[in-house]
Amino acid sequence: MKLATAVLFAAAIAIAAPARAEISSDPAKLEGGQFMVDKSHAKIIFSFSHFGLSTSYGQFTDFDAKLNFDPKTPAHSAVDVTINMDGIHANVPKFETHLKSPDFFDVATFPTATFKSTSVEVTGPTTGKITGNLTVHGITRPVVLDTTFNAGGVHPMNQKYVVGFSAKGLIKRSDFGVGRYAPNVGDEVTLTISAEFIRQ
């Protein structure tokens, strides 16, 4: 009797509770809105050739990002990112200090870098190109990020609506006035980005 009562009670709750979207990789099931980056689940990694001998890696560890997401009309979506350049991390403290110096990013003069999207082009069911203005070292240049939608829905742990994306882009650091030691140390820098966004 107790078991039957429990089953009926659970069924009543399930019927009364509104359906919530589960995590899905189907863009047709997405919901839009205003989102903020989940800093605990986001990475901006950079990589470049070191004399052709190896690939060096680093990351920007301190950044904010806002996403205005319209899954029905992706071209209306927009992303705005601000990076604290003092948060650059390359696993070698001496190298990090050098990167922050006037030889490279001159963080004391240019403490932040920004990316502001200007257009979104859909290239496939879950892919697109985000074009935007990247400002680094006080210099602004257009950059294209090849972007992939990973999944979205109500997060099973925090019960918040989230969407996740990955992106890659290629820039020339000399275009931003930080081309010291090029081409021995690679001028081309690959940006690898992965981020979850939480709807506000």
- The answer, yes or no, to whether residue 136 has pLDDT greater than 60, is yes
Give the model confidence (pLDDT) of 68-104 as tens digits: 999 999 999 999 999 999 999 999 999 999 999 999 9
Domains of the chain: 2-199 (2.40.128.110)
Q: Strands 78-84, 63-69: parallel, antiparallel or unpaired by DSSP?
A: antiparallel
- The answer, yes or no, to whether residue 3 has pLDDT greater than 80, is no
- Average pLDDT, stretch 152-164? 96
> What confidence score (pLDDT) does residue 122 get?
96
- The answer, yes or no, to whether residue 8 has pLDDT greater than 90, is no
> What confidence score (pLDDT) does residue 22 get?
86
- Residue 121's SS3 state is strand
CA distance 170 to 190: 5
- The answer, yes or no, to whether residue 13 has pLDDT greater than 50, is no
Average pLDDT of the chain to the nearest whole number: 91
CA distance 5 to 10: 9
Locate the DSSP E strands across the chain.
33-50, 54-60, 63-69, 78-84, 88-89, 112-122, 127-136, 139-154, 161-172, 188-199
Largest CA distance in the chain: 79
- The answer, yes or no, to whether residue 48 has pLDDT greater than 90, is yes
- Residue 127's SS3 state is strand
- Average pLDDT, stretch 163-176? 98
- Please tell me whether the overall predicted TM-score, pTM, comes out greater than 0.85 for this model: yes
Name the one residue in this structure whose structure tokens are 């950079």.
46
Residues 6+ apart with CB under 8 A from 150: 25, 126, 164, 165, 166
> What confidence score (pLDDT) does residue 156 get?
93
**Is there a contact between 97 and 110 (Cβ–Cβ < 8 Å)?**
no
